[in-house]
Structure 1
Amino acid sequence: MAWVLEDGRPIYAQLVERLQVQIVSGAYPPGGKLPSVRELAAVAEVNPNTMQKAFAELEKSGLIITQGTNGRVVTEDERLIQGSKRQLAKRHADAYFAGMEGLGYTRAQAAEFLRAAEGKGEAEDE
């Protein structure tokens, strides 16, 4: 099944984020071998050159390492993986707060909305 990609954002950037999520969530464990560029490009239904660009970005960040002809593996550096996880979480939190501010909520109200949703299964409006 093809990966769902958004219009309006560079495809390679979305691939980078998708692969980061898979790495930090353990779908690709530390030291684990990644599928080839061509295999992942086929799964995502994107051009292999676009997937190669995403892999290059992940290599620059240190999350993946090329092992010559043996392909690519996920770093074993847990601190780097956890740092990437925090970075992704912050990006998602910032997007949430920006969306809520667009609806007229303050950051404090948006945070309270989350607390209420977690405690009751559904947040109540004030």
Structure 2
Amino acid sequence: MKWYLAKLVYRILCGDGAHTPQFDEQLRLISADDELHAFQKARLFGHKEQDNFLNAADKPVHWRFIDVSEVHELNSLNDGVEIYSRISEEENGEIYTKLTLMRASHLQENFLHTTMQLN
């Protein structure tokens, strides 16, 4: 068996769907013999995990599986190995950088707080 990284894409519809289109892209680890089986297995997960529920405003929410858009074999699971990369072009590089630094600082503070509570 080999390990694969699969991207599953869902469309999120709220109420009558008259809103900005929303999509959820999920990266999943898949264990399979080859790429075809990884793709098929990822599709099964995607269909199985579609969902319908009511949100806080009692409006129906539908998570509809679209399909698997990517499958990548993971050659090794070692410390620090890259499993996903995405290059983006941002209108304001300074704001993007500041938001990234703020998120990292927030993560570090939360992890430190949790670690201190455990000790």
Q: Which has the higher helix share?
A: 1
* TM-score (normalised: structure 2): 0.34
Which entry has the higher C-alpha Rg, 1 or 2?
Answer: 2
RCO higher in structure (CA 8 A, sep ≥6): 2
